[in-house]
Copies of this chain bind each other. A is one copy, B any other.
Amino acid sequence: MTGPTATLLISCPDQKGLVAKFANFIYSNGGNIIHADQHTDFAAGLFLTRIEWQLEGFNLPREIIGTAFNAIAAPLQSNWQLHFSDTVPKIAIWVSKQDHCLYDLIWRHKAKEFAAEISLIISNHPDLQEIANQFGVDYHHIPINKDNKIEQEAKQLELLQKYQIDLIVLAKYMQILSQDFVSKFPKVINIHHSFLPAFVGANPYHQAYQRGVKIIGATAHYVTADLDAGPIIEQDVVKVSHRDNIDDLIRKGKDLERVVLARAVRAHLKNRVLVYGNRTVVFE
């Protein structure tokens, strides 16, 4: 409908004229803006914006846009990313034994909810090989334990490179990535099965049951070196009651995990998420 688009995600110290400068860059080169949203974090003194425009009719060739924009952006001390809507990112889904998020991501991909390619499934268990086969995705079984973590992570990194992966989705992977791994491959979205920061770490549903909460949640966040402490992209909750035992919490939680993870992955793939500090702006 709108044809291929370019999107800029920009953050820079707040000052007068930013909207005008960025919009003029697009307009003076013949671009038609189809989405422009901005947010000023007054406490941090930061201006954050997302601008998307149609490439059809835009005078600059793609390979020059970045350089041209940087002439404006650099003096403003801005950080920026440039994305093209017809570039199809490659996703690796990492799983353990549970299949609900994997199935869900695959179904959404088939339903064209994600403008991406699911190129690779990695697991520390062989259990979900069959689903990978069913949908024709490569599956690599890389068992992890305390002793082999460093060498297995090396294998994982190799696969990420081989498959040219842009984004890892931890779809109930249940393992902690090493600080070293995260520094080498920082584009990782995780689904944590609690309303963070409540119930960090293992067995959040058991923790939730013990605490006697009346609501459970799920949180999708970027992975950082600190366990379950990375920037939050999306959260949602569901009511529970005394009727719900731990199995019920797990069952109800699965529905949450599926939608929360999917919304986060979709927002990321649509280049709608801008991270700054330990926070995110999710442009709508």
Residues of A within 8 A of B (CB): 1-2, 15-21, 23-24, 26-28, 30-43, 57, 99-100, 103, 107, 111, 113, 134, 195-199, 211-215, 217, 231-237, 239, 241-243, 245, 251, 254-255, 259, 262, 277-282, 284
Contacts and interface: CB of A to CB of B under 8 A. Distances in A.
B237 A279 contact: no
Contacts of A233: 214
Contacts of A26: 19-20
A40 B34 contact: yes
Contacts of A259: 255
Contact of A19 (B1, B28, B36, B197): B36
Given A23-B23, A213-B196, A243 B284 contact: yes
Given A36-B36, A197-B211, A215-B236, 11 more contacts: A19-B26, A19-B27, A19-B36, A20-B20, A20-B28, A24-B24, A39-B242, A99-B107, A195-B217, A212-B231, A212-B278
29 contacts: A1-B42, A2-B42, A16-B31, A16-B33, A17-B27, A19-B19, A19-B26, A19-B27, A20-B26, A20-B27, A23-B24, A35-B38, A36-B36, A37-B37, A42-B245, A99-B111, A195-B195, A211-B232, A211-B278, A212-B231, A212-B278, A214-B232, A214-B233, A214-B235, A215-B217, A215-B236, A215-B237, A239-B239, A284-B284
Give the oligomeric copy count.
4
A280 B242 contact: yes
Nearest to A21: B27
A243 B30 contact: no
A71 to B, nearest CB: 17
A234 B214 CA distance: 6
A35 B31 contact: no
A16 B30 contact: yes
Nearest to A211: B197
